[in-house]
Structure 1
Amino acid sequence: MAEISADSVTLDLLMEARETVRSSPLEVINTPMIPWCQTTLPLPMNCNIHIKLENLQRTGSFKIRGVANQFARKPRGGHFVTMSAGNYGKSFAYASKHYGSKGKVVMPETAPESRSVLIQSFGVEVERVPTSRLMSVVNRCVQEDNMTFLHSYDDLDLIAGHASLGLEVLEVTPEPDVVVVCCGGGGLLAGVAAAIKLSGCDETRIYGVEPEGACTMYKSFVEKKPVGMDTKSIASGLAPPFAGRLPYELCRRHVEEIVLVSDEQITAAVSALYGSGLVVEPSGCAAFAAIVNNKIPDMEAKNIVCILSGGNIGKDELANFPD
């Protein structure tokens, strides 16, 4: 069978996935998009910004979109394994319980313990390992325990499901000038970018945002191939050990640039959003951090969309952030 490539991602495929996501029994929400000017957040400059609130999804992040499309295309009652720092694992566990599937999440040891406990509460097994061993443990589960691997970011069905977010953005802002999206392995960025560009928004500039200490897609752009690195960031959900191959191909085709933010800028973003009544985890506010720190070129007088991708942060974690 031919290897899936960026050419496999068509607008028809993404529209079909959107209908699957919309009708999913997992009850994926068409999340609100609110004007920045209707919040108490300071505007960094004279521009029109809309904020897409994926932190309001039922499982607390955008990940449920891709999971809904993945599970709709798998047999019920399967035995699946994945790797995740938390958000994908939570949606995976939620779907596993609904569909009566057995599941296991291999998590990096750096992920908050509370995420492991939450995933286990859905009846899914968790194994915590060093980040460098994630794939080797997944491979062991596939080979020795006959599990099916569901990738948390490098998967066509997953990316197509995430694209539903991009199509929703266009329903509110049909021709945005700039769209800013967080990037870890690249699944969300690839899906949103493909949805917007394939819908005919040729002039829209799409930016991915990564932490400085976990910039696999940025390095992949530099080296012109998907690469890995030893990642370390307060935004654990944006710190997989390598960029996905299919996300990389799609991002190279549709994304303007990958920009970087520091952990200090991410921390300040969490606090600023919380102070305005928005609970957003570090991994979910990278796009916001890039905008307020003027990392995005040519924003003046532009129509901009900022994705807040997740809000899974516990009281214990919030207590460590400054007021």
Structure 2
Amino acid sequence: MKKLLLTVTLGACSHLLLAQQVISVYAVTIPDSKPSDVKESTVTEANGGIRISNVIQPTLTVYKPAKEKANGTAVIVCPGGGYARLAFDHEGLDVAKRLTEMGVTAFVLKYRLPNDQSQPDKSIAPLLDAQQAIRLVRQRATEFGVNPARVGIMGFSAGGHLASTAGTHFAKPVGQDPTNTSVRPDFLVLLYPVISLTDSLMHAGSRTNLLGNTPTADQIRLYSNDQQVSAQTPPTFLVHAADDKTVKVQNSLRFYEACVRRGVPAEMHLYPKGGHGFGMNNQTTKDSWVDRMQNWFDANGWLVK
């Protein structure tokens, strides 16, 4: 029994052992921010799941691979949670650990969730943080040991909406940057992503949290990212389950079809079952989408030192 308890204790601490540092996304002033009584909340559930809400200070938790494995590729990971909270463990920290095993340096983004009390324009706060995270990784690439031309972004569910927004809205960044560092990701990885905010395909909670109860037609079009794909959209890897009742599989299908129309290299893996929010482990299949992603990375040269 003592041995079992020790194993559990070490497992619970594994994230702390692997995470080299937690850094602020912004050096000084946080844009689109105003004083409020909003306080960040972190809850650890009975199963060990970590849920974070009311994010005020966006951060990146850095996971570095062993030096002999490091290949220079970086991935910014955006956990999901309907733009209401962040599923920070199984769609964030656990994924980062797995990426380091591939030699990839991972950055788990604790991004601000839309909040009228603490943000003048809640619709742009998450994207501001994602774009600044991309800038920061590129600007400090030497420090992190990464190639600034190999910085991708990955997102789950609403985090997939944020990642796909970063991959389609980079031509007109929402924030100002005097260094003119590119905010275009070099590739996208989208897991059961929220893509369309149209009435027929939207995840209602994500749309309401991001755009409010009565979004305009222009807002819906702007943030329906299948409608924003261009020839410059980065290569994309998609995963979804056909029986997803929370975020319809047509979200991934629409984005994939848009990529094909625009000549954007895209790979998609659809599973008949799995539902929503399965993280790295779809228990309905022996197939591993993570292995498929690793193959995709390898085929594109992102695992080469």
Tell me the TM-score range normalised by the shorter chain: 0.3 to 0.5
Give the TM-score normalised by the residue count of structure 2: 0.38
**Structure holding more helix per residue:** 1
More relative contact order, 1 or 2 (CA 8 Å, 6+ apart): 1
Give the TM-score normalised by the residue count of structure 1: 0.36
